[in-house]
Structures are given as C-alpha cells and as structure tokens.
Amino acid sequence: MTAIAIPSVMQAIDIKQPGGPEQLVAIEMPVPRPDAGYLLVRVAAAGVNRPDVMQRAGSYPPPPGASLIPGLEIAGEVVAVGPDVSRFAVGDKVCALIAGGGYAEYCVVHETNALPIPRGFSLLQAAALPETFFTVWANLFQRGKLQAGEILLVHGGTSGIGTVSIMLAKAFGATVLTTVGSEEKCAAAIKLGADSAINYRTHDFVAETKRLTGGHGADVIVDLVAGDYVARNYAAAAVEGRILQIGIQHGPARELNLMPLLSKRLTHTGTTLRPRSIEEKAAIAADLQEKVWPLLADGRLQPLIDSTFPLYRACDAHTTMEASTHIGKIMLVTPGYVDLLV
C-alpha cells in the first residue's frame, strides 16, 4: 500500500468558551498522530449529537485524555496506523465511536472502536451510525434486554436515538410506541416502523400508552427527557418494566413517589457512553458487527439523515439541533468531501 500524504495542520472546530452555537469557531491545529493500537482517519463526515451541545454549553466536559474538540462519531479513510494495529490497514474505510475530536479533518480512533463501512453505505451514512447505534444497542439490548413480543416506549422518536431505537426494536420483533412533538413527526415515526406515535403536545402519553396496550403498559421505556417524565414513566410502565435513562434534557426529577417503582417491581437504570473504557466500547462494537451490521448490509436498516452542513458551519448545525425541528441525524461534512453534502 502506497503511503498517503498527511498534512501537518488541519481544520477543526473549537469551542471558544462555554455558551451558544456562536462559540463554535473554525481553527487550524496540528494533525494528531496515532499511538499504539490507534488509527489516524481522514474524516469525511461527523455526526452532531446532544452531548456535543452539552459540551459546548459547558455542562459535559470530555473525559480525561480525550480531545477537547467536540464530535463523538465519524467515518472516513484510514491514512496511518500506530504500532500493534491488526484489524485495519491504510486505505480501509471505517466508521468509529470516539470520545472527542470528530469535528475535524483528521481524527485518531482506537481500532477496536472502529467498524467497517456496511456494504452499500456511503461515508455520510456510515458516519450517522456509531453514536446512536452503540448507545441504543448497549441500553436497549444489553442492559434493557428487550425481547421479541415486548412493548417498547421511546421518547423523542424522531431524534437520532429515537429513530435507531424504533428501527432496531422493530427489526428484533418488538412492538414500538413513541412520543413526538408534532403530527409531522408522528407520520415520520410511523414511516420508520413505529406501531403508534403519540403527540405529547396534544395527548397524555401515560394514558395513551395504557390505552394502546390494553392496560398492560410498556415493558421497556427509553427516556432522554427526565424531569417530570420520570414519575410519568413509572405510571406508563408495565409490571417488571425496565426504564432506560440515557438523557436528562429536562433536568432532575424534583418530586418523585417511589411507590410505583416498588409495587411494579420496576428497574430504572442509567448510563452514559462517552466515559466508558475502550474495552467496554469494543465489546459493544463486536456485538454490533455480529448482530446488526448484517441487517445494515442487507438494507433492512438505514440511518435517517435530516440535514448536512459543511464543517465550518458547525454553529448552524447546533442551532438546528437546539430548535428540535429535525427528523433524524444532523451531519457535518469536511472540506475534502463536499460531494457528500445533501
């Protein structure tokens, strides 16, 4: 394999100081070099996620040793490898979960947290996979143990996490209910495969969940909201239900009666993905490659992409995310791959 020329500097997005989207600015910085076990990837596209917004606002700092540049998922071409790399070679195309550094033209990735591009996928589509698929698989299937025939309630069904939760749950035989904030989003969720979509602005999701399930409730609930949703999730859950807390957009639950947790024998668990070890993420990656990547390659699953922005317009991408009008993933495209802009 002929060596690929690597520049000394690259464009990246920096956070000037905690604040709004205007704090995201394009800068030049040195291209990182891969240590043992790491790949250097020329980034084609990067996903924009809620944790990026939280980091920009100053409420979700990177874990120790991670890049200060935001961005948790990328896809691109391997242009250099560090010592002891065995899974990938220069020239391979990969997508990867990272702890930071995705909003840049080059990024270092541990080889065990990278996955091959699914057959038939563009680099843009592949970049929309890692953060949401790792998160949903680890929570919904590894921790939540969702089974075929069970009822899943997903809050925010047209978000990146929500769309993947719907698609994966349906692919593995669950019945899916979801909450969304408009009739347009209800239609989009149904098109994705949800069995029922509840407009939370016009309907009480607890009452609707009970009605739609004949009083049974949801066996598993995926929640990014928290706040007053915690108590309402307890009310909507079935006996022996599992509640998976993967976000707290509305802050903590200020008042909470735990009696339903006891009387229904509920399990309420929470996780964050970013601080987990390379080894833990590698185990999720291996599970995904075995059980989910074949579904992607067969065309049974497709990530839903809402919009794409050039890297230098990261501030506009964050503004779009905070407006919550998007349906699916918001993506950034680096200067060398402008053909991926749609």
- Pair (116, 163) in one structural domain: no
Instruction: Using the predicted structure, report yes or no on whether residue 204 has a pLDDT greater than 60.
Output: yes
Instruction: Using the predicted structure, report yes or no on whether residue 311 has a pLDDT greater than 70.
Output: yes
The interaxial angle of helices 229-236 and 205-212, nearest 10 deg, is 20
The number of folded domains in the chain is 2
- Across the strands, what pairs with 176? 152
Reported pTM: 0.92
- Pair (289, 265) in one structural domain: no
Q: What's the average model confidence in pLDDT over 133-143?
A: 95
* SS3 assignment, position 99: coil
Instruction: Using the predicted structure, report yes or no on whether residue 300 has a pLDDT greater than 80.
Output: yes
Dihedral (Cα; 110, 116, 118, 120), 10-degree rounding: 130
CATH of the domain at 296: 3.90.180.10
- Pair (73, 151) in one structural domain: no
Q: What's the average model confidence in pLDDT over 240-265?
A: 90
Q: Report the chain's mean pLDDT, rounded to a whole number.
A: 95
pLDDT tens profile 88-118: 999 999 999 999 999 999 999 999 999 999 9
Of the three residues 238, 270, 302, the one that is the final residue of a domain is: 270
Within 13 Å of residue 172, how many CA atoms lie on the same side as its CB? 19
- Pair (297, 321) in one structural domain: yes
Q: Give the Cα separation of 253 and 58 in Å (integer).
A: 21
Instruction: Find where tokens 């490659």 sit.
Output: 289
Give the pair of three-digit tokens for residue 73. Answer: 């998922």
Instruction: Using the predicted structure, report yes or no on whether residue 199 has a pLDDT greater than 70.
Output: yes
Instruction: Find where tokens 């030049």 sit.
Output: 28
With 0-12 / 13-18 / 19 or more C-beta atoms within 10 angstroms meaning exposed / middle / buried, residue 66 is: middle
Of the three residues 243, 270, 297, the one that is the final residue of a domain is: 270
- Pair (31, 110) in one structural domain: yes
Of the three residues 248, 270, 292, the one that is the final residue of a domain is: 270
Q: Are 107 and 91 in contact (CB under 8 A)?
A: no
pLDDT tens profile 275-286: 899 999 999 999
Is 66 contained in some domain? yes
Identify the pLDDT of residue 253: 81
Length of the chain counted residue by residue: 342
Identify the pLDDT of residue 256: 87
Is 174 contained in some domain? yes
- Pair (41, 112) in one structural domain: yes
* SS3 assignment, position 85: coil
Range of the domain at 75: 9-129+275-340
pLDDT bucket at 2, cuts 50 / 70 / 90: low
CATH of the domain at 183: 3.40.50.720
